[in-house]
Structure 1
Amino acid sequence: MTTAHPVPRDPATRLRETLARLTAEEDVWLATAHPRHGPHQIPIWFLWRDDLAWLCTRATSPSVRNIRADPRVRLALPSAADVVIVDGSAEPVPLAEGPAAAYTAKYRWDPAAEADTHLFLRVVPRTVLAWRGEPEFPGRSLMRRGTWLA
């Protein structure tokens, strides 16, 4: 299925709408890689707060293992018609040091109540790309080297 977006958004509108999606969306694709084990990609809940992405997972997950070996990650919202891709670096953070209350409020799930030990992954974005179809390829970079462009 294709969605036509004949008129490209201006940079301010594209940034505003991208930040709104990052705040409102519940799911994101997290891609990590390990030198020996290769790529790993999962859908996961996330919270966008203060220009950071926060994800929560088991401390023993392949994603955490990969991030400990190589902190580079890619996040992608689940739409090919309204693309948002965030490249950045991730760091495991204990639950007590992350936005536990905001995460629990958004998902009605308390990771501290789980039998498995969970932790947060704090993702610091370095690059953010957003576009709706080919007309928006020019200007799709909204962030470079951690600085917003619009």
Structure 2
Amino acid sequence: MENTRTVPRSPAERTRETLTRLATERDVWLASAHPEHGPHQVPLWFSWDGQAVWVCTGAASATVRNVRAEPRVRLALPDSFDVVLLLGEARCFSDRDVPARAADGFAEKFGWDPRTEDDAFVYVRVVPRTVRAWRGASELPGRVIMREGAWSAQPPP
């Protein structure tokens, strides 16, 4: 069992470590909801471009249907101790309309380019408005490190 006692990090340290995780991790849980069909949550590969999270999923997926009806989504990195939660606005891009830089970055990170597949894929860009990060109960106070799209502290060098 892992020790859950930690020394609380400063907001700047939390921001730096969150940005590092966004740049390096592979998986994210994306939760969306449709006014008629209710909630839907799915694990997806993601890339971070420094301002937004990009995921890619089948064009006929519930995620795409939900985002088109209700663009507010929640994202969670898959760690229940070192928590990172993002709340943001999502926008869909077809595999023909996605900005090349975003699609190229996704393909480079995963060695898979959905634009080359026979099936249609949709890229979903999520711009975070709120980010919460905490590691254990000692960090629950001050867990909001982004509010209204602005980081609360600049990460240390």
TM-score range, shorter chain: over 0.9
1:106 aligns with 2:109: yes
Structure 1 position 114, deviation (Å): 1.4
Query: Cα deviations across residues 29-68 of structure 1 (Å, max 9, x unaligned)?
Result: 0000011111000000000112200011111110000011
Moved over 6 A (4+): none
**Aligned pair 1:97/2:98, yes or no?**
yes
Q: 1:2 Cα deviation (Å)? A: 4.9
2:24 corresponds to 1:24: yes
Rounded to whole Å, the distance in 2 between the matches of 1:136 and 1:44 is: 27
Root mean square deviation, CA, Å = 1.1
Contact 1:5 1:133 in 2 (8 A): yes
Q: TM-score, normalised by structure 2?
A: 0.91
AA matched with 1:141: V
Partner of 1:147: 150
5+ long unaligned stretches in structure 2 = none
1:117 and 2:107 correspond: no
Distance 1:59 1:121 in 2: 10
Indicate conservation of the 8 Å contact 1:33/1:66, yes or no.
yes
Tell me the distance in 2 between the aligned counterparts of 1:85 and 1:15: 12
The answer for the alignment partner of 1:49 in structure 2 is 49
The structure-2 alpha-carbon separation of the partners of 1:35 and 1:3, relative to structure 1 and needing over 3 Å to count, comes to: farther
Q: Which position in structure 1 is the counterpart of 2:62?
A: 62
CA contact (8 A) 2:6 2:135 kept: no
Q: How many residues align?
A: 150
Residues 64-89 of structure 1: CA deviation (Å, up to 9, x unaligned): 00011100100000000100000001
The CA deviation string for residues 78-115 of structure 1, in whole angstroms up to 9 with x for no partner, is 00010000000100013343311111110000101212
Instruction: Tell whether the 8 Å contact from 2:28 to 2:43 is kept in structure 1 after alignment.
Output: yes
Q: Do the aligned residues in 2 keep the contact of 1:127 with 1:143 (CA within 8 Å)?
A: yes
Which of 122, 138, 142 matches 2:141?
138
Instruction: Give the Cα separation in 1 of the matches to 2:135 and 2:91.
Output: 30
Which stretch shows the higher mean deviation, 127-136 or 96-105?
96-105
1:86 aligned counterpart, secondary structure: strand
